[in-house]
Amino acid sequence: MTDDDRAGRRAAIMAAAAGCFAADGFHTTSMADIIRASGLSAGAVYSYFRSKEELITAVAGLPLANAEAVFAALPADDAAPSPAEAVAALVQGVVARAADDPALGVDITRLAVQVWGEALRNPEVRGRVSAVYRTLRDHCTEVARRWQAAGNLPPEARPDEVGAAMLGLAQGFLLQRLLLDEATAEGYIAGATAVLAH
């Protein structure tokens, strides 16, 4: 079995687990659920992941990596989007990733919410979440900084604080889309834009 084969199988197990975790949370899905979803046997799964906790940690990384990709695309090259445009891009990024990722077959935003809860009790997950979220905020901060440099933000405003608010708007949309059925990207973007427009 080649390394690629092994990596592919590992990814398939993670995808199966991600589906279970997104539907039922980390601690109510049983290993039997994951084993069934993966189509493999217990022994096979346990030869790729030493324990359920290792699987949780690995799967928890998926929405974090995804978010990092969306946010990293924000301050593209030397463009200077407005905060409103940036938040719009983030919200659309959330929606795009929420449509079940074909490589994963999961609404990864549901997984993100489970990761938030897990971060409150699992120090390893907590550490990775705060590291990633700090960089997400920094990407937003960079947008605010450029916007300020272009003279569109009062000089006394602090870009890092504006960045935190932008991140908050994106996180709030992720949540509202999942918990308030009628929350739409367009409406939220319009509201955020009205609120961000000067």
Which residues of the shown chain bind DNA in the complex (CB under 7 A)?
Answer: 1, 6, 9, 29-32, 35, 39-44, 46-48, 50-53
For residue 130, what are its two tokens? Answer: 């705060």
Neighbours of 90 (CB within 10 A): 27
| Of 1, 27, 28, 42, the residue nearest 125 (C-alpha) | 27
- Told to check if 32 binds its own copies by CB under 8 A, we report no
For residue 158, what are its two tokens? Answer: 């602090």
Q: Which does 23 bind (CB under 5 to 8 A by kind): DNA, its own copies, none?
A: its own copies
Q: Which does 103 bind (CB under 5 to 8 A by kind): its own copies, DNA, none?
A: none
Interaction with its own copies in 114-153: which residues (CB under 8 A)? 114, 116-121, 126, 129-130, 133-134, 137, 153
How far is Cα 81 from Cα 169, in angstroms, rounded to an integer? 16
Closest distance of CB 10 from its own copies, Å: 25
First to last CA, the chain: 60
Please classify residue 83 by burial: count the beta carbons closer than 10 Å to its beta carbon, then call 0-12 exposed, 13-18 middle and 19+ buried.
Answer: buried
Closest distance of CB 60 from DNA, Å: 15
- Told to check if 71 binds its own copies by CB under 8 A, we report no
Task: Tell me the site size for its own copies, rule CB under 8 A.
Answer: 57
Alpha helix locations (H) across the chain? 3-24, 31-38, 42-48, 52-72, 83-98, 108-119, 123-149, 159-179, 185-196
Q: Using the rule CB under 8 A, give the single segment among 7-15, 46-54, 66-74, 174-182 that binds its own copies.
A: 174-182
- Told to check if 23 binds its own copies by CB under 8 A, we report yes
Sites of contact with its own copies (CB under 8 A): 22-25, 27-28, 83, 110, 113-114, 116-121, 126, 129-130, 133-134, 137, 153-154, 157-158, 160-173, 175-176, 178-181, 183, 187-188, 190-192, 194-198
